[in-house]
Structure 1
Amino acid sequence: MEEVAGTVLAGRSFEPIRGHVVVEDGRIQAIEETETESTDIVLPAFVNAHTHLGDSVAKEAAVGLSLDEAVAPPDSLKHRQLAAADRSELVGAMRRTLRFARRTGTVSCLDFRESGTDGANALREAARTVDVDPFIFGSESPSVLDVADGYGASGANDDDFTEERAACERRGVPFAIHAGEPDATDIHPALDLEPDLLVHMVHAEREHLDRVRSQSVPVAVCPRANTVLDVGRPPVRELVDHTTVALGTDNVMLNPPSMFREMAYTAKRFDVTPREVLRMATTAGAEIAGLDCGVIAPGRRAALTVLDGDSDNLADSVDPVRAVVRRATALDVERVVG
């Protein structure tokens, strides 16, 4: 049995409780309010709701390029780099990124993995020695579902994904798709596929938001990547008002997968509260993928990020939730549990 002490951001509301989390066999047994000398801040470990870990082989390569030049299939710089990378190089690069994610408080990521079955297997291999469990949205053909956790489509304007959607339905696994990143033309076609997750929705308008609500489709937003690629600003406030919204860091070649950076950027640039942003970085991604983490509550997996609340950066903060979302960095992480 282990006790993780400090200011615990407990439950779905992240209520600050002075005390400790009782952990046994990897699960939370109790949250006990009690006196403690610990100045640590204990929060749910992060779930990064949208990554492209394969891009780890080409960090910074796409800076300054347009969306099409950088990432559009099949001839963008990203896809040329992936085609040129050998398997050992790819696995090693993704493993390094996963290690960075773990050190910065992330225990899972929802990854769109290119290159079909070979790509999904390469990510499984990369994660084997790292305490981050990627939820893999595979690509290319329905057969990828033999090794992936779901299917991740590039966009409804790129191809007809009805066969892949049907395969996900038969297997009872999620179908996710990019939508509304360059413009709004692919949003209705994406929604026609009845996806389990939409990614980006930068150009979502009222008619799209109403469909998202009526179909109960969650959305992963990636504000920093949208800024770097100059595609616009997602309507984060409106999305939060209509559905479950999770936070992702998107392409590794453009952004390090730091949820601290993504939270701070989102909190400072959009009309959302710190608690909403923290929920986007933890609970929402876990719920989308059906993971037993993302919230500190009895009976749940003990996946915790422990911050030094007395660090030079965080000391004297008047609100622990606000401090975690707007101020904390990787340097404040003492350890990641679970």
Structure 2
Amino acid sequence: MLLKNISILYGKDLKYVPSASIQITNQKFGKMTSSVSGGKAVDCEGLLLVPGFVNMHTHIGDSIAKDAVLSGTVDSKIHPIFGAKQRILKNSMPEHLASFMKNTCYSMLKKGITTFVDFREGGLEGVHLIKKALSTMPIRSVVLGRLEYYQDKDQIRKNTPLRTNDKKTLTKILRHCDGLGVSGANENSDSVLQYYSKTGKIRAIHSSETTQSVRVSKMVTGRSETERALAIKPHFLVHMTFASNSDLALAAKKTRGIVICPRANAALAEGIPDFMKMRNAGCTVAIGTDNVMVNSPDMLKEMDYLWKVTMGTHRTGVDPKEILKMATVNGGIILGKKIGSVEEGYLADGFFIDKHAVDLEPIHNPHASLVHRVTEHAIRAVMIGGQIVHGKI
């Protein structure tokens, strides 16, 4: 397929190209040209091609519990052992959970999200359940499974290792998913974290999300939560809202990057992640939407919120292109995959914006318009692997 007369946000710098043609072959983007020759051509006059959003952190398993718990502490809502979320999930029928997960995937597609990374609870059964929900959905997924094994403070102080049966269970889980998504260092001894580091697939872990979690790590182990989280040799860390400067320096040196979830942190009354501080420390930063229970899986809203709240708290201008990169290009970089960018050899994932949409026209700054004006109503179509999976062009 050849897309002609189309505007493009091209390459890792998201350069705005007012009019061009680009070939799609074998699910990948070809060269961008100024001429049209051969193949089936689709006239895309009036459309802007944007790389598909990479939602780098979700928990779609709790899609059945939207706004079920609005009061209380973070732990009372989403703690992996005693949180309300766990009680709701345990008391829900698997087919109901799968149905609502599928709904969330459809919601993400409509909003331009072409890839999402899910921290999947529920052990092997949880992985099988999300695979069932995804079986008829075209959206790309990176499923990070989890061993439902959590240690208490005494076990952490004693450095209790992982049991043999749990090691066997973990092997089975990893056989069926894309990697490991660990709840946090505060539920695991150093021995367990080091064992997790041997995982040959993607490794990620929550860290320094709350002041409470940071305080607990210091109290129990005498070390920072991030320092301990790095024991799994993660490809990326999630949240880092209350990470210290030294934590960020370590993260820049030892990981591919950090994934922040600003609206979820705000909804949980746990502050706003300072991505500028992370960037200045040398970290690559990407965006996720986190728990569907407390937040909608909407990267458009996520970008708008992050851009404005960052300028409000720092009282300085923030280039909207930087925010847009965090929602697209940087996710591909952190995952080590050829996604999140419209360029030759990359998977042909993207969405088509109607440049004449009432809330956009006239567009003077396409990056700013995308970050804080576009809604799903301006998205004409969504493409994954060169196939239109939502809408039409």
Indicate conservation of the 8 Å contact 1:274/1:322, yes or no.
yes
1:292 positional shift: 2.2
**2:286 match: secondary structure:** strand
1:37 positional shift: 7.3
1:193-223 CA distance string (max 9 Å, x none): 3221110000011111111122234110000
Q: How does 1:43-192 map to 2 (within 5 A)?
A: 43-140=50-147, 142-143=170-171, 144-160=173-189, 162-163=191-192, 166-167=195-196, 169=198, 171-183=199-211, 184=214, 185=217, 186-192=225-231
Counterpart pick for 1:203 among 238, 242, 258: 242
Deviates more, 1:172-181 or 1:213-222: 213-222
Larger Rg: 2
1:245 aligns with 2:289: no
1:96-141 CA distance string (max 9 Å, x none): 1001111111111110000011101111111111111210110115
Q: How does 1:19-30 map to 2 (within 5 A)?
A: 19-30=20-31
Return closer, same or farther for 1:177/1:162 CA change in 2, 3 Å cut-off.
farther
- The residue number in structure 2 matching 1:229 is 268
Deviates more, 1:297-306 or 1:270-279: 270-279
Distance in 1 between residues matched to 2:295 and 2:4, nearest whole Å:
31
Query: Which one-letter code corresponds to 1:23 in the other structure?
Result: I
- The residue number in structure 2 matching 1:337 is 383
Return closer, same or farther for 1:318/1:167 CA change in 2, 3 Å cut-off.
same
Distance in 1 between residues matched to 2:197 and 2:121, nearest whole Å:
17
**2:345 match: secondary structure:** coil
1:4 positional shift: 5.5
What CA RMSD, in Å, does the superposition of the two structures yield over aligned residues? 1.8
Indicate conservation of the 8 Å contact 2:66/2:293, yes or no.
yes
**1:157 match: secondary structure:** helix
How many pairs does the alignment contain? 337
1:5 positional shift: 4.1
1:64 positional shift: 2.8
**2:50 match: secondary structure:** strand
- The residue number in structure 2 matching 1:327 is 373
**1:305 match: secondary structure:** strand
TM-score under structure 2 length normalisation: 0.82
Return closer, same or farther for 1:265/1:33 CA change in 2, 3 Å cut-off.
farther
Counterpart pick for 2:351 among 305, 310, 313: 305
Gap regions ≥5 residues in structure 2: 37-42, 148-165, 218-224, 312-317, 385-393
1:49 positional shift: 0.4
Deviates more, 1:226-235 or 1:156-165: 156-165
Distance in 1 between residues matched to 2:16 and 2:34, nearest whole Å:
10
Counterpart pick for 2:308 among 259, 263, 268: 268
Indicate conservation of the 8 Å contact 1:168/1:174, yes or no.
no
1:31-84 CA distance string (max 9 Å, x none): 123698722111100110000010101011122332011101211111011111
**2:98 match: secondary structure:** helix
Distance in 2 between residues matched to 1:216 and 1:113, nearest whole Å:
21
1:287 positional shift: 2.4
Indicate conservation of the 8 Å contact 1:196/1:218, yes or no.
yes
Indicate conservation of the 8 Å contact 2:63/2:97, yes or no.
yes
Indicate conservation of the 8 Å contact 2:118/2:142, yes or no.
yes
Distance in 1 between residues matched to 2:189 and 2:181, nearest whole Å:
13
Distance in 2 between residues matched to 1:287 and 1:30, nearest whole Å:
20
TM-score under structure 1 length normalisation: 0.95
1:298-335 CA distance string (max 9 Å, x none): 11111011111110011112111111111111111111
Indicate conservation of the 8 Å contact 1:8/1:21, yes or no.
no
Deviates more, 1:207-216 or 1:160-169: 160-169
- The residue number in structure 1 matching 2:9 is 9
Gap regions ≥5 residues in structure 1: none
Deviates more, 1:200-209 or 1:176-185: 176-185
**1:256 match: secondary structure:** coil
Query: Which one-letter code corresponds to 1:16 in the other structure?
Result: Y
**1:175 match: secondary structure:** strand
**1:131 match: secondary structure:** coil
**1:95 match: secondary structure:** helix
Indicate conservation of the 8 Å contact 1:153/1:161, yes or no.
no
**2:186 match: secondary structure:** coil
Distance in 2 between residues matched to 1:103 and 1:332, nearest whole Å:
10
Distance in 2 between residues matched to 1:277 and 1:327, nearest whole Å:
13
Query: Which one-letter code corresponds to 1:178 in the other structure?
Result: H
Give me the identity figure in percent.
Answer: 30
